[in-house]
């Protein structure tokens, strides 16, 4: 059974050294994303600023899950895959970005990129975060499709699609992310 916190004060005290920097980093990255462009569209033109309350909730839900894992498993400090997976899971559920467009601007009525971006702002943002968190230079250079190099764009598109349309748990996402670092075995 999942622990229920009536107050996050104990959780915050216990994990303050993780929660505060993680929250600040996510808020900074969300603000940078808000001021960025995707597919030729300024995010600030189509979305409200990131919701700080919902970002706090994402981090607290993530840390609540990780605290529970640490209590029942012999894990002192979870690895970065676990943090990335749980943050991704809770970000997509919390949706700190909200599209502010309620109708199509005349020039975008038939532009499917515009519609897709409006409906997947959170998935686009968290995909960037997740891939940045789990892909190391070693992974990019040596593990994924050695002959052609790392196809980041294909992986990014696949992960965004997965986050938007598939049913998954944080544990499924963690296993997928660990698989990104797996090199094929030579026999």
What is the phi/psi pair of residue 47, to 5°?
-130, 155
Burial of 163 (0-12, 13-18, 19+ CB in 10 A): buried
Burial of 56 (0-12, 13-18, 19+ CB in 10 A): middle
Quick one: pLDDT at residue 156? 87
**DSSP secondary structure code for residue 94 in this structure:** H
Distance CA 156, CA 4 (A): 34
End-to-end CA distance of the chain: 44
Q: Do the beta carbons of residue 91 and residue 160 sit within 8 Å?
A: no
Quick one: pLDDT at residue 146? 46
Distance CA 173, CA 170 (A): 5
Q: Quick count: other Cβ atoms within 10 Å of Cβ 69?
A: 15
| List of the chain residues with pLDDT < 50 | 137, 140-141, 145-149, 184-187
Quick one: pLDDT at residue 183? 56
């Amino acid at each position: 059974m999942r622990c229920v916190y009536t107050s996050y004060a104990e959780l915050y005290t216990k994990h303050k050294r993780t929660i505060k920097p993680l929250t600040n980093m996510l808020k900074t990255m969300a603000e940078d994303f808000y001021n960025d462009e995707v597919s030729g569209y300024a995010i600030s033109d189509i979305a409200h600023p990131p919701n700080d309350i919902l970002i706090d909730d994402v981090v607290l839900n993530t840390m609540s899950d990780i605290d529970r894992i640490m209590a029942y498993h012999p894990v002192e400090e979870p690895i970065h895959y676990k943090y990335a997976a749980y943050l991704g899971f809770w970000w997509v559920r919390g949706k700190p970005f909200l599209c502010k467009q309620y109708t199509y601007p005349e020039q975008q009525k038939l532009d499917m990129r515009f519609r897709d971006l409006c409906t997947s702002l959170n998935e686009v943002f968290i995909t960037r975060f997740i891939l940045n968190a789990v892909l190391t230079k070693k992974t990019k250079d040596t593990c994924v499709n050695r002959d052609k190099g790392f196809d980041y764009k294909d992986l990014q598109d696949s992960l965004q699609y997965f986050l938007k349309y598939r049913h998954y748990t944080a544990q499924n996402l963690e296993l997928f992310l660990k698989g990104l670092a797996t090199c094929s075995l030579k026999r």
